[in-house]
Amino acid sequence: MSLQPFVHLGASLGGRRRGDRLDLSSDEVHHLRTVLRLKDGAEVTVADGVAASAPAVLVDTALQLTADAVETVRPRPLLAVAQALGKGRKVDDVVRVVTELGVDEITVVAAARSISRLDGAKADRALDRWQAIARAASEQSRRVIRPDVRGPVSTAGAADDAGSLLVAHPGGMPLPTALDELGAVDRLTLAVGPEGGWSDEEIARLVAAGGCLVGLGPTILRTEHAAAAGLAVLGAMLGRWAGHPLLAT
């Protein structure tokens, strides 16, 4: 038996009750009726991307809830990724995969050795694309809460807002060891550099901000693969793989 379609809407579901009607935007109608090919009466699970989800049925240009909306509690510690810009659209792949793995926040960093440079309107378009990718990946992976995506920001800006910071760098202590030494934290950020890695000046800045240098295994990973590898380890060690805290119930 196939799963019901799982969709994110722009409207909040907080406090919504069975029988409530959610009017859809033209884009949302197109997605449900043209892309997903749903007909009137089709059952879907709808989430607002912030905290709530509910079952619903499609009625004309709206969704009608068939049960009260349920709140999902964001797990702690919050898991974040600070990903340096890579060549081309490598960040697109990072956003997609770490969203599927349960990341809570994604910050794109314009690092010293980043080949791609984004500013002005180009940066705005890139951020819109990354947020759309996070939304689609949240739907695919059936996440109620989708990650916040921001950037590009400077390395210093990322460090100042990182909480407990783990900096991926060859020769750093094993990631599991670093996590054990940190103990209880509320926010944990894994920082991954571009193709050439973090510069010496950036490493010094990140360490001065309280960052701990960590290794991600015995091999050197591509920048677009490193965050996913690290996040999988962190998720397993923090107990996120013991259940499904990000899925609708």
> Quick one: pLDDT at residue 247?
36
> Quick one: pLDDT at residue 6?
94
Q: What is the residue-wise DSSP string for the chain? A: -PPPPEEE-SS--TT--TT-EEEPPHHHHHIIIIIS---TT-EEEEE-BSSEEEEEEEETTEEEESS--EE-PPPSSEEEEEEE--STTHHHHHHHHHHHTT-SEEEEEE-TT-S----HHHHHHHHHHHHHHHHHHHHHTTBSBPPEEEEEEEHHHHHHT-SEEEEEEEEEEEHHHHHHHH-S-SEEEEEE--TT---HHHHHHHHHTT-EEEE-SSSPPPHHHHHHHHHHHHHHHTTGGGS-TTB--
Q: Is the confidence at residue 245, as pLDDT, over 50?
A: no
pLDDT in tens, 80-89: 999 999 888 8
pLDDT in tens, 133-179: 999 999 999 999 999 999 899 998 888 877 789 999 988 999 999 98
> Quick one: pLDDT at residue 118?
82
> Quick one: pLDDT at residue 243?
57
Task: Write down all domains in the chain, each with its CATH number in brackets.
Answer: 6-71 (2.40.240.20), 78-242 (3.40.1280.10)
pLDDT in tens, 77-110: 999 999 999 888 899 999 999 999 999 999 999 9
For the entire predicted model, the pTM comes to 0.89
Average pLDDT, the chain: 90
> Quick one: pLDDT at residue 2?
61
